[in-house]
Amino acid sequence: MKKKGSLLKRVSILFSVMGVLGMGSPLASRAQESQGVNSNETLNIAFSSNLTTLDPHLTTNQATRDVGRQIFETLLTLNENYEVIPQLAKSYEVSEDGLVYTFYLRDDVQFHNGDTLEASDVVASMDKWLKTSTQGKANLKDAEFVEVDPLTVELHITQPSLIVPYVLADQAPFPAIVPEESVTSSDETGLTDYIGTGPFQLAEWAPDQRIVLNRFDDYASREEETTGLGGKKEALVKEVVFHIVTDVSTRVSGITTGEYDIAFDIPLDNAEQIEYMEGVTASFNPAGTAAYVFNKAEGPFSDIKLREAFNTALNVEEALLTAYSNPEYYTLDSALALPDQTDWYSQAGSEQYNLADVELAKQLVEESDYNGEEVVILTTRDYPDHYNLAIVAQQTLESIGVNVRLDIFDWPTTQEVRKDPANFDIFPMTFAIRPTIHQNPFLDSTAAYAGWTNSPEIDQLLVDITQESDFDSAKPIIDELQQAVWDYLPIVKLGNYTDLSAIGENVQGYSELIGPVLWNVSKSE
């Protein structure tokens, strides 16, 4: 065992207790104190999309995140202010040179198969995550996890980085800890069993139909009060059933009749209907950012001039209104971060945002290499905002003389199709809130995210930010990065949006932070 001497400095992991998220919190919808809990209830959820995988290491898919976070846990997580706090780690330290992170594991944690969490499980899990996840490849290149003793793990990195704790607390693809045996038995498609340490365990996965989670009776909770994704967790229902209901009208009617207790991904133009339903509450939560992603590897949009033409012609407010129906449900914003993320927020490059200048865009088309070929917009009807944004993109491109085809698939097929740059030229996408700019998968050239960014300038600025000692010194570089993004246009950022869920009146304690939080949720008869 390596000695821990003067090279290590204690990172404070004490955090102020914020309590259960309340009605006034912007991150919570209906968090309430649970009383008279019936622990034998089933929580029925209308879930809008199928899952292509339950392996949280492999995808940025929000559906995998939403289900997976109930099953799996991570070394570190986020509190309600997006600050990093320990989860499976009891505490952690950083060496004075910033190159070694030491994690001391909790000694009371069991996996769903009855095995006790040990350092070997963490090392195997994190090695897999580093090799397979976009976040591991992009932000912890050449990193290595090392077992020190059964309850101690070290992370060795090659250069200090400002963002390491945030990366380890990321939510998609999140660095879930699974048994070493699960890693050993995994194949090229990912995990073949889904065993975690979370408050719920997988009981059934019937693709296209349902996912059933049962309460894990031997779950070992932290003792601190709940805050965001951390602190005390309790499974207050016997089981959670995610019913795959891709049809919006079926989700809405199901919450009305009581067939479902929670319905996710309700279109915002149904908000008034939900708000006036008896026995149902409309839950609005910050969801993330909306954007168009260009294929920069090949095809017409590999030409920066055509990307500029689309961006110049685009009426952003019209696009957001079409997708989200009411200005109350979105904000115009050119920044990659949210305004509340003060360390990362920058409006550099905003002069290139929301220009809506069709005539200038036509000139840019003339200056480009575009020669009348068909531009393919890839989208899905499974997410109505994606589809509506695709229609706006089609109309915008046609207005500047570009030939367009709309290719529409279900969501799992869309994810498969976009892996090949020969299949599409642009697609609308929504991105969840990320703790750092670096965790946006469309930025880094090494991330291999669909769209295939290839900008040495952006790559270098991302590195430069991580090498600063604090955010005050990093702020000018963050401004440079924001400007470089608008110059290169890996995406066109549209704005920030909220999502709408419908919650039955018999559900207590529901909250959201970068997706639903289903522990500490109870259901009355």
Task: Give domain status of residue 280, yes or no.
Answer: no
- Higher-pLDDT residue of 43 and 138 is 43
- pLDDT reported for residue 21: 32
Per-residue pLDDT band for 17 (boundaries 50, 70, 90) equals very low
- Classify residue 399 by burial, with Cβ atoms within 10 Å: 0-12, 13-18, 19+: middle
Same domain, 144 and 254: yes
- 245-249, 340-344, 495-499: lowest mean pLDDT where? 340-344
Q: Is the pTM of this model over 0.85?
A: no
Q: What is the pLDDT confidence band of residue 439, given thresholds at 50, 70 and 90?
A: confident
With bands split at pLDDT 50, 70 and 90, how would you rate the model's confidence at 408? Answer: very high
CATH number at residue 148: 3.40.190.10
Task: Tell me how far the alpha carbon of residue 361 is from its chain's centroid.
Answer: 33
Query: Any idea what the CATH number is for the domain that residue 328 is in?
Result: 3.10.105.10
One domain, residues 252 and 302: no
- Asked if residue 381 belongs to a domain, the reply is yes
The Cα 406–Cα 389 span in angstroms is 11
- The answer to the question of residue 60 being in a domain is yes
Question: How, if at all, do strands 522-523 and 239-244 pair?
Answer: unpaired
Residues 6+ apart with CB under 8 A from 483: 348, 349
Residues with Cβ within 8 Å of 453's Cβ and at least 6 positions away in sequence, in order, are 296, 442, 443, 444, 445, 447, 488, 490
Asked if the model's pLDDT at residue 26 lies above 70, the reply is no
Answer yes or no: is 281 within a domain: no
421 lies in the same domain as 316:
yes
Which pLDDT does position 5 carry in this prediction? 33
Same domain as 441, residue 348? yes
- Find out whether 501 and 29 touch, Cβ atoms under 8 Å: yes
Same domain, 253 and 373: no
Q: How many domains does the chain have?
A: 2
Segments forming the whole domain that contains residue 295: 287-499
pLDDT tens across 210-266, in order?
999 999 999 999 999 999 999 999 999 999 999 999 998 999 999 999 999 999 988
365 and 224 belong to one structural domain: no
Q: What is the pLDDT of residue 37?
A: 65
Average pLDDT for 256-284: 90
- Clarify whether residues 217 and 295 are in a common domain: no
- Angstrom distance (rounded) from CA 73 to CA 15: 19
**Among all chains, which residue has been given the structure tokens 């470089």?**
484
CA distance 92 to 104: 6
Note whether 298 and 252 are same-domain residues. no
Do 250 and 308 share a domain, yes or no? no
Please give the angle made by the CA atoms of 310, 312 and 313, to the nearest 5 degrees. Answer: 65
Contact 500, 491 (CB under 8 A): no
pLDDT score for 492 = 98
Is pLDDT above 80 for 134? no
Three-state DSSP string of 250-261: HHHHHHHHCCCC
Q: What is the pLDDT of residues 37-83, one digit of tens each?
A: 688 999 999 999 888 899 999 988 889 999 999 999 999 999 988 88
* 162-198 core/surface letters (b: 16 or more CB in 10 A; e: else): bbbbbbbbbbbbbbbbbbbebbeebeeebbeebbbbb
Q: Is residue 208 part of a domain?
A: yes
Whether 422 and 298 have beta carbons less than 8 Å apart is answered as yes
Q: How confident is the model at residue 143 (pLDDT cuts 50, 70, 90)?
A: very high
Q: 210 and 297: one domain?
A: no
Residues 6+ apart with CB under 8 A from 22: 28, 31
281 is written with which tokens?
């509450």
Same domain for 176 and 291: no
Residues 6+ positions from 107 with CB-CB distance below 8 Å: 90, 151
The per-residue pLDDT for 69 is 97
Does one domain contain both 462 and 517? Answer: no
- pLDDT for residue 36: 57
In a domain, 12, yes or no: no
**Bridge partner residues of 281 (DSSP):** 503
The answer to whether residue 28 is domain-embedded is: no
Residue 183 has pLDDT above 90, yes or no: yes
* pLDDT tens-place string over residues 352-394: 999 999 999 999 999 999 999 999 999 999 888 999 999 999 9
pLDDT at 379: 98
In a domain, 233, yes or no: yes
